[in-house]
Amino acid sequence: MHKDNRNKKGLSEIIGYVLLIVFAISMSVLVYAWLRASTPKAEVACPDAVSIELTAYDSVPREDGMYLYLNVTNRGLFGINGVSITLKEGTKACPIKSAACQDIAKSCDVQGNKILFKQFLNQGMMKPIYMVYDSSACAPNKIELTPMRASENGIILCDKSIIKESITT
């Protein structure tokens, strides 16, 4: 009886090609994982041309506190998604009781001293805002406005674009 070695030789070539393909795929996966881990991530920051302006303000005393009405205008080249407002008496921050957009649609959400617009505030657009604070606890003489922009990682405060203005209440 004589054995036929032709079938075994063909089978070993197929196993060799399969092993070669598996090795090539595993090496490409390793290189991809290494490149992904070693590539620096992009920093999340506001563009330099983000700018807002306090175009008008007025304070009105009411029973539940002092109302401060603001008109915030986007003077930058990029739209903004909101503004963070800090009232100060000297260096002490004044607590804000409540805040809201004053436009008809009330198109904003308030989270503490941060006001998030439901619609993008594009270049040249103005947003009327009001806030209520306790005038017996604090008499603010400064206001700080910080524009905010949305990103993939959430809301970013544009620290390079903070507006600080003296006010009289």
Q: Could you state, in order of their start, the residue ranges of all structural domains in the chain?
A: 1-39, 52-166
Q: How far is CA 108 from the centre of its chain?
A: 15
pLDDT at 25: 96
pLDDT, tens digit only, all 169 positions of the chain? 555 555 566 678 888 899 999 999 999 999 999 998 888 776 677 888 899 999 889 988 888 889 999 999 999 999 999 999 999 999 999 998 888 887 765 678 888 889 998 888 899 999 999 888 888 888 899 999 999 998 887 888 998 888 899 988 7
How far apart, in Å, do the first and last CA atoms of the chain sit? 111
Parallel, antiparallel, or unpaired for β 114-121 and 52-62? unpaired
Residue ranges with strand state E in the chain: 52-62, 65-74, 80-89, 92-94, 96-101, 108-111, 114-121, 126-133, 142-151, 154-157, 163-166
Give alpha helix (H) positions in the chain. 6-38
pLDDT at 45: 79
Name the β-bridge partners of 167. Answer: none
The CATH number fitting domain 52-166, selected from 2.60.40, 2.160.20, 1.10.1660, 1.10.20? 2.60.40
Residues 70 and 60: their CA atoms lie apart, in Å, by 12
Buried b (16+ CB within 10 A) or exposed e, 30-48: eeeeeeeeeeeeeeeebee
pLDDT at 142: 93
Q: How far is CA 135 from the centre of its chain?
A: 31
